[in-house]
Amino acid sequence: MDNQEPELNAEEGAMQTETATPRIPDTQGALPAQGMLANPYVPFQMPDSTQYQPPKGLVRGTLFPGLDLPFMGMVNQQEKDDTPMHELQALGFAIGELGLYLDTHPDDRGALTLFRKYSGLYDQGMAEYQKRYGPLTAGQSMNSDFYTWIQNPWPWDFEQTEAE
């Protein structure tokens, strides 16, 4: 049992949205007043949910404080070091998380804007990373003397690249 945290402080470090009227808490979602018998219902996440920044979202396993429900108070408190690979992983994670959210909320303009912003930063980060440290996809092996795609380390290796 490491990283004990008595209760989840979901708002800490999160981006706050300013709203004039009180809204329902991030941990709750929309449900019909009455539902059909013999049907499963999960509350639908609200469109203006609070979000963590990508580096915090990565270590929490979600961008959404309302869905951050740890086991026995075991919480990853410390964000990953600010390395080029960790930055890519945080952005890639944020894009994937927003992508799943958009699958069920395809007309949420705020989420779409953020998705495009993170995607742009990710593409930029990938290009810079690969120029400096080598290819992350086979097609990016641009060295004319050697097929650098095959070079160690591979993702499962214990040995790490200088970018990590």
Partner 1 sequence: MFVYEKKLQYPIHITNPNPKLASLILSQYGGPDGELGASLRYLSQRYVMPYPELKGLLTDIGVEELGHLEMVGTLVHQLTRNLSDDQLENSSFAPYFVDHTTSVYPTAAAGTPWNAAGIGVKGDPMADLTEDMAAEQKARVTYDNILRLSDDPDVNDVIKFLREREIVHFQRFGEAITKLRDRLNQKNVYFMNPSLDL
Which residues are at the interface with partner 1 (CB under 8 A)? 1-3, 36, 38-45, 58-62, 64, 67-72, 74-76, 80, 85-86, 88-89, 92-93, 96-97, 99-101, 103-106, 135-138, 149, 154-156, 158, 160, 164
Q: How far is the CB of 18 from partner 1 (least distance, A)?
A: 25
| Cα–Cα nearest to 53, from 6, 87, 18, 103 | 87
Residue closer to partner 1 by CB (options 96, 120) is: 96
Q: Give the chain's length.
A: 164
| Cα–Cα nearest to 83, from 52, 125, 120, 123 | 125
Q: How far is the CB of 20 from partner 1 (least distance, A)?
A: 27
H or E element that contains 153? none
Between CA 61 and CA 63 the distance in angstroms is: 7
Q: How far is the CB of 131 from partner 1 (least distance, A)?
A: 15
Between CA 102 and CA 16 the distance in angstroms is: 20
Residue closer to partner 1 by CB (options 93, 118) is: 93
